[in-house]
Amino acid sequence: MTEKTALITGASRGLGAALAEALAASHHVIAVARTTGGLEDLDDRIQAAGHRATLAPMDITTEAAMAQLCRGIHDRWGKLDLWCHTAVHAAPLTPADHLDMKDWQTSIEVNVTATARLIPFIAPLLGTEGQAVFFDDPRAGQKFFAAYGATKAAQIALARSWQAETRSIGPKVHVFEPRQMPTGTRARFHPGQQAETLARPADEARRVLDLLGLG
């Protein structure tokens, strides 16, 4: 039986890490993130559960690195069964008239440009049978969320266009809105919020996999 594969971009923490752990029992996980330490901690947990993963400490905004990664996936496995895109840049909250252009540019590069580049890189690996998953966090138009809200909305617009274009031919493209979790992104927006009032990433990962028919 051909080994199933799952690519997780943004896998070092939060929902991405939880998805990687949950999928490791049924898929070979390729875990991508900039944070090497976070990936190594993830790998330790996956190995402790008796599974294995491939770590890819890369920046998704680096075109050559992403091209090399996708070529490596093709050469080793020939395809991908699943891509979960959880990588995101959460710019600090600020009024629109105080936007920092460095944060704005990073938001565009990570949330929009990298996604626009990855879709055509990864689509051939998914073929007609694979699945791609994006995660919405609708903040567009909310006060102080100008950079994050605008670029996250642009990312999801890309995903929804791809979803509409492939609805009858594949791959299946999904856009989910996760429940609020005690992640680093949320802590940046809501410091001091009690974790016990939020969904656990592991529980949310299982819910996502159930929605995908992989539970």
| Identity of the amino acid at 147 | A
Mean pLDDT by 10 residues, the chain (215 residues): 90 96 98 96 98 97 98 97 97 95 97 98 98 96 96 98 98 95 74 76 96 92
Q: How many domains does the chain have?
A: 1
Q: What is the pTM of this model?
A: 0.94
The CA distances from residue 7 to 4, 77, 86, 104, 146, in Å, are: 10, 12, 11, 27, 29
Residues paired with residue 134 on neighbouring β-strands, in sequence order: 85, 175
Helices 14-23/36-48 angle, 10° precision: 30
Q: What is the pLDDT of residue 99?
A: 96
The residue range of the domain holding 80 is 5-211
Q: What is the CATH number of the domain that holds 161?
A: 3.40.50.720
